[in-house]
Amino acid sequence: MRATRMVSSVLVLVLMQSGALCARRFRGGRNPQPRRSPPPPTYRADRGDTTESFPLDFTAVEENMDNFMTQVKNLAQSLYPCSAQKLDYDMKLNFLENTSVTCNDGSPAGYYLKESRGSRRWLIFLEGGWYCFNKENCDSRYETMRRLMSSSKWPQTKTGTGILSPLPEENPHWWNANMVFIPYCSSDVWSGATAKTEQSGYAFMGSLIIQEVVKDLLSKGLDNAKVLLLAGSSAGGTGVLLNVDRVAELLEGLGHTGIQVRGLSDSGWFLDNKQYHCTDCVDAVSCAPTETIKRGIKYWGGVVPEKCRQTHEGEEWNCFFGYRVFPSIKSPVFVVQWLFDEAQLTVDNIQLTGQPVQEGQWRYIQNLGIELRNTLKDVPAMFAPACLSHEVITRNYWIDVQVKGTSLPRALHCWDRSLHDNRNNKAPPKGCPVHLIDSCPWPHCNPTCPTIRDQFTGQEMNVIQFLMHMGFDVQKMAQQQGMDPSKLLGMLSSGS
């Protein structure tokens, strides 16, 4: 509480100063005398430059964060109309100091960074983007998706969205963290540790890229961090599961034992289930997940967590599937997973475009939700809405989706608090859930799911239109549930 009062006093002083600045700026009526503009402040892009920041350490007020965030939001809103120049929100490109660790084509790997001098919290995000598993489909990927295999055309800056956003209204609990975005250019689900060879034609160094980024960041302030959150979506979400303990072990080995390493895996909890119907294994989209990973781990020289490797010796591909690797992970991990993940359905050969789905496909989709629930039931911290979608934490609507009345940012904040309280031998906060999973049985039965659009017309579809499009038989489903069809329609309309 003492820390909270102290920071509150700082906020009041800043608000008073900003109010005075506003008054001076706008004093003089409608036509103030023109004044020569001062040179704009410089922002740090490389070491040695100056920077402008609010030196607030948010880790000092974790016990009363809700009250504190209210004050911060008020501060941010009060400063908006007073801004003398555009704030520098962009993350800036840095290439690795170790030039031997590269993208697939041998071009330098790197990361985007936006520093927040006052914060001791760091968020490192792993980008997703499928993968390739042999020379032929890697060649095809290089022709069609070169950005995911080469850094040659990466832009100099990148603007963060969702949990990477610097705006408190879009990112209520992490907006002031040091933000790091690592572009995906290794095509190996962030698992590879193999240099380019004549036989493979490509380097696969995803796991090494993460290690080198962490080493580089130590000289940029990470050495003083209190919390490091390794996050990722899709292939990046799986990459979190594969690498979070390796990052913790790296920092511990370098003597940085005070940094709490955590993981946030979004849409990377895939199932090794049987496809709806089998097709020729041509690329990552058409092949069964187990088959592509079995081939890929050999081609990439993939590295998996040691405990999981020992459990599945000779069949290390098992460690790429969330429910198999999770029991071996020592670091705290929060799992975010749509119950009806579009990427999972794609690799299972369920096509949701064109003609309405058949009854067998509909049953398969419902069973997928059931299977995912079963694999997630023992995960302590998770957020699983019954939606048909893929990826969420970097979407600007990530604050809108709820499970049982709790939003994802709120659930992550509760998780932060519970970890903090556990370390200090305190009881977990009441009314702050961290294990959230929808119980309704159909895709998009949660009314807060992201909007679905008809892929041909572009028109938004409500829940009933979407289910009818998928071939949902209201009469038959009502009969199965033992209820009147009109009541079922009412429940679907309200999202019950």
Catalytic residue selected from 90, 245, 341, 416: 341
Q: Can you read off the two tokens belonging to residue 28?
A: 């003089």
Q: How far is residue 243's CA from residue 207's CA, in Å, rounded to a whole number? A: 7
Closest CA to 124 of 36, 228, 202, 34: 228
Chain position carrying tokens 């760091």? 122
Q: Can you read off the two tokens belonging to residue 490?
A: 């009412």
234 belongs to the catalytic site = yes
Beta strands in 50-177 (DSSP E): 91-95, 110-114, 121-126, 157-158
Q: How far is residue 382's CA from residue 437's CA, in Å, rounded to a whole number? A: 7
Coil, helix or strand at residue 110? strand
267 belongs to the catalytic site = no
Closest CA to 123 of 165, 175, 179, 42: 179
Other Cβ atoms within 10 Å of 363 Cβ, number = 12
Q: What sign does the CA torsion over 367, 372, 375, 376 have?
A: negative
435 belongs to the catalytic site = no
Q: How far is residue 474's CA from residue 464's CA, in Å, rounded to a whole number? A: 9
Q: What sign does the CA torsion over 308, 314, 320, 321 have?
A: negative
Coil, helix or strand at residue 362? helix
Catalytic residue selected from 390, 413, 420, 444: 390
The set of residues, in sequence order, having a beta carbon less than 8 Å from that of 65 and lying 6+ positions away, is 58, 173, 413, 416, 417
Chain position carrying tokens 């890697």? 138
The set of residues, in sequence order, having a beta carbon less than 8 Å from that of 171 and lying 6+ positions away, is 162, 163, 164, 165, 399, 409
The set of residues, in sequence order, having a beta carbon less than 8 Å from that of 35 and lying 6+ positions away, is none
Residue type, 296: G
Catalytic residue selected from 234, 331, 389, 407: 234
Helix/strand number for the chain, H first, E second: 14, 16
Q: DSSP string of 188-221?
A: STT---B---TTT-S-B-HHHHHHHHHHHHHTTT
Catalytic residues: 234, 341, 390
